[in-house]
Structure 1
């Protein structure tokens, strides 16, 4: 009897040895057998443990390195990296650059996403801010003021201010997402010329935001942040 033809998904595919080793190495990390900061077993130990040759082990280790799970240093044993939301999002930087460059509309989508994110973030920051947090924000504003006339330094200080707000939310995923989005905006689609002559306005807006946070006025802080972001929309444009 002739069996009916099955879809290609039923076909058995022989997997590369290095892919199988990669799965085993991931298991070592997720199981906690090796933890952040630990050295990975030597290539020889891995060869003996999995019964494979050196090329398969080296290719699997390189894949782990490329994904950010381990760091390979010349002449030393590879080490397991601390894995958090920042690590994961950091691995997306190259993809983000391609996405943002592929169509002009994607930059506007990122601006819109950032605005929605920052408004929720500043509300949380206002609700959870400590006196030390508020003091840190005021210090960051003064640091930003010290970069008047230095567009690059001013923009980097601006990023630190918004990053601090994200950290005040108490949510490490929010902090990592904020840092990633700011990096994508400033590094890939920033026009520093747009900041010229508007630095004092930015500083005044930041000061008002901090004053509203200090007053425990989340609605006011959200409204001021919305105005700040709306005005600064044109500071980001696709590179040509």
Structure 2
């Protein structure tokens, strides 16, 4: 397996060795008809299996071509694709070459939100996903929140109250409050997924901002803050679940059109047929 370098000095030594030595390629041979896909698959699989990690040096374009036994054009195409999905970064200069990139939650959220839109995921599905993420995150957040988390929640409760007459500002702050709750869980997987969902849902929420809804949102935020202070995870989860259930079934005021369609109700069971009177 290719020996990985994690600091600049070792990386330069590794590049020099890879450029001059004629060692056996560290990667598996590939077939020309699926060349780029196979190269991407090998590097991706090595990363997911833990053989590569953030900060590892893969090599220069030339050394990678030698290791894989392919052309530099094929390596260039592969690196371009890996950069696009955020797995590597390509540097120039003395520290030039391909490196395993650091995680970027915003990049992940952008990709996921775009894919969800392309898949045609409905608003109802998104709100259900929001509930699954936030209810779980809330229980963790109450247990893991530190003084800084509580201070930020208090700040946003005050800002929400002060911006009730500014619908667009208020909606952004309301989503910020939900994001702070998820962040307080200290679970980065939940935070990343919530960020992606937020990018899709916030525009919908902004369209339907209303004074009475703003008042309910502020009341909800105040109750959540009280549950956090009391370290009552059960009450906080129940509060979040009730709030998201209300949001799920919210309708536009008098238009008759549903913002989020309610769950279809099961058809009532047919009434049993009347019994015939028994003959004497």
Q: Does TM-score exceed 0.5, indicating one fold?
A: yes
Deviates more, 1:45-54 or 1:208-217: 45-54
| CA distances 1:99-122 after superposition (whole Å, capped 9, x unpaired) | 335xxxx32122123223322322
Question: 1 CA distance for matches of 2:230 and 2:92?
Answer: 53
Deviates more, 1:23-32 or 1:56-65: 23-32
Residue 96 in structure 1 maps to residue 116 in structure 2: yes
Aligned counterpart in structure 1 of residue 156 of structure 2, from 140, 162, 168: 140
Give the Å deviation of 1:84.
7.2
The alignment partner of 1:36 has SS state of coil
The alignment partner of 2:120 has SS state of helix
**Richer in helix (by share):** 1
Deviates more, 1:159-168 or 1:20-29: 20-29
CA-based RMSD: 3.4
Question: 2 CA distance for matches of 1:37 and 1:159?
Answer: 33
| 1:79–1:186 CA distance, 2 compared to 1 (3 A) | farther
| CA distances 1:195-215 after superposition (whole Å, capped 9, x unpaired) | 132323312211111112211
Aligned counterpart in structure 1 of residue 77 of structure 2, from 48, 59, 63: 59
Task: Say which structure, 1 or 2, has more relative contact order (CA 8 Å, 6+ apart).
Answer: 1
Which position in structure 2 is the counterpart of 1:225?
240
Which position in structure 1 is the counterpart of 2:124?
108
TM-score scaled to structure 2, two decimals?
0.64
For the 8 Å contact 1:100–1:107, the answer to whether it is kept is: no
Which position in structure 2 is the counterpart of 1:126?
142
Aligned counterpart in structure 2 of residue 178 of structure 1, from 185, 190, 194: 194
Greater CA radius of gyration, 1 or 2?
2
The alignment partner of 1:82 has SS state of coil
Within-5 A mapping of 1:148-163: 148-163=164-179
The answer for unaligned runs of 5 or more in structure 1 is 1-12
Which position in structure 2 is the counterpart of 1:212?
227
Question: 2 CA distance for matches of 1:51 and 1:97?
Answer: 39
The answer for unaligned runs of 5 or more in structure 2 is 1-30, 252-257, 261-280
Question: 2 CA distance for matches of 1:139 and 1:155?
Answer: 16
Question: 2 CA distance for matches of 1:45 and 1:145?
Answer: 59
Question: 2 CA distance for matches of 1:201 and 1:224?
Answer: 12
